[in-house]
Amino acid sequence: MAATVSEEQWRVARTALADQTDRFVDLVRAAPRQVMATAHWSVADTLAHVVSLAWYYVCLVDREHPALPVPGLGGQLPDVTVDTVADFNDVLLRHLTERDPEVLLDRLQADVKQLLVACEGRRPDETVPWLGGARVPLAGLCAHLVNELLIHGHDVARATGRPWPIPGRDAALFLELFLAGVVRHGYGRLIDGGAPPSERPIVVEFRSAYAAPVRLLLHRGRVSFAEPGARPDARIDHDPGTLNLMMFGRVSRARAVLTGKVRIRGRRPWLLPAFLRKFRTPS
């Protein structure tokens, strides 16, 4: 993996954010607000969640932007991990009480536009503080919001019977720029817990048709980039959209494998579950 994000990757991330925001807005605008998009969130709640993220991200890159109306938010962020982010999202939604879709959609479009404007002329690998004390590069911040739009667009589309194709190139940004970005710049407490530390190193390589391979090492409880010559114990060839849906609990691992969208091979593939217990996302 290169030490920095290329200008082409930076352009693709910003273009994807603009495009997927437009798709998400069109999808949600046509959806009944009261329909349950997930077991706990209606379409309106799901929209409010995405709005809260876009709002927060603008605040990270533009200190003059009005802050989220959540008392003590700054003090809570360093302690959030992948295992407690659901509770944190509930806190945000309790304080963001607006559920009128048109008001929320206007807010989402305005904040994404402001985020893209604030990113103009800045380096893609400039970092900002994130949940759990992680440091996220600007390109990774945009990639994370793209993934949120794709995942929650999937939720709304499934609940309302609408098509929602997930473009592979846009979906690949989540691993390529966000996950790789926090590994490179420091993930803090974000993935605390999970698999217990082990002296046995595990190397896993992620490969898709849309991005350069990402080869990661789990050793003694820490995830880092593997050395270029390290032999993978497991290799995951994947369709990025399916991998992301699997990582966020929308598609089971069995279904992802049986459809051929996620293919696992390598000399020690049985080590993969231990790796994924550490290198994980909220599901």
Q: Which range (121-135, 187-201, 216-230) has the least confidence?
A: 187-201
Q: Where are the domains of the chain?
A: 7-185, 202-278
CA atoms within 13 A on the CB side of 24: 34
Confidence of residue 3 (pLDDT cuts 50, 70, 90): low
Number of CB atoms found within 10 A of residue 69's CB: 11
DSSP-derived 3-state class of residue 8: helix
How confident is the model over 259-271, as a mean pLDDT? 97
pLDDT at 158 over 80: yes
Kindly state the helix (H) or strand (E) to which residue 121 belongs, with its residue range: none
Would you state the pLDDT for residue 188?
A: 96
Is-contact 111 105, C-beta < 8 A?
A: no
Task: Say what the pTM is.
Answer: 0.96
Number of CB atoms found within 10 A of residue 238's CB: 25
Is-contact 80 23, C-beta < 8 A?
A: no
Report, at the CATH architecture level, how domain 202-278 is classified: 2-Layer Sandwich (3.30)
Confidence of residue 4 (pLDDT cuts 50, 70, 90): confident
Would you state the pLDDT for residue 195?
A: 79
pLDDT, one tens digit per residue, over 27-80 is 999 999 999 999 999 999 999 999 999 999 999 999 999 999 999 998 999 999
Domain 7-185 identical in fold to domain 202-278: no
Residue 173, exposed/middle/buried by CB under 10 A (0-12, 13-18, 19+)?
buried
Closest residue by Cα to residue 73 from 92, 46, 86, 97: 92
Confidence of residue 215 (pLDDT cuts 50, 70, 90): very high
pLDDT at 2 over 70: no
C-alpha to C-alpha distance for 167 and 182, rounded to whole angstroms: 23
How confident is the model over 189-213, as a mean pLDDT? 94
Kindly state the helix (H) or strand (E) to which residue 219 belongs, with its residue range: strand 214-219
CATH number assigned to the domain covering 7-185: 1.20.120.450
